[in-house]
Structure 1
């Protein structure tokens, strides 16, 4: 991803020589018209702002590299912390529906975007989410 698009996922450490406590960034999924914002952190560092800080830097980098390409975050509805992070980053809910690939058939997928979505973007998000 870094070689092809100039951006990808980063490893996050609390200290330069410390263990990795999270991973995240932006990538362009194959054949998709958006950047995918991803963040995942060890439970031991939840609530310390790492996801928000990393997410903000990833959004800024994606917008610098290709500002016309929207940034999308796929979340599960039950993950309140992830939802709060997306919302603090200024993203808004664009789609809510079943998470078909999930073995939990009751799982609900939420898709947040960093701008007003077009009808075409919503259709592409829905097609991708429904697999």
Structure 2
């Protein structure tokens, strides 16, 4: 394969994967509705009973700015939050991190979890929809 063809194939693959990964407006709306269940303890902008979600993706578990009430298990989990780790955790928090202080049964429906994670990805980006509190 020529270098030009390889570059074109790579570019097309990247565009296709980016388009496939982009959530639609309906999925984001459903994700926001699922997040309403989380709002008793969490918010995007600030810490509550649970840590803020602003800046969530790429952050190591147990390290939200200004949040001090993490369980030892969460601080020691070495989880870095991304779509895969959130999916596993949100399915069954107490199984994913035994000893977590998050006493929530989880989001059992895979579609709901996917929509929630897609919404969180958009809503938790610092500088766009949220500002990190200290």
TM-score band by shorter chain is: under 0.3
More helix, by proportion: 2
Structure with the bigger RCO (C-alpha within 8 Å, sep 6+) is 2
The structure having more radius of gyration, on CA atoms, is: 2
Structure with the higher fraction of residues in strand conformation:
1
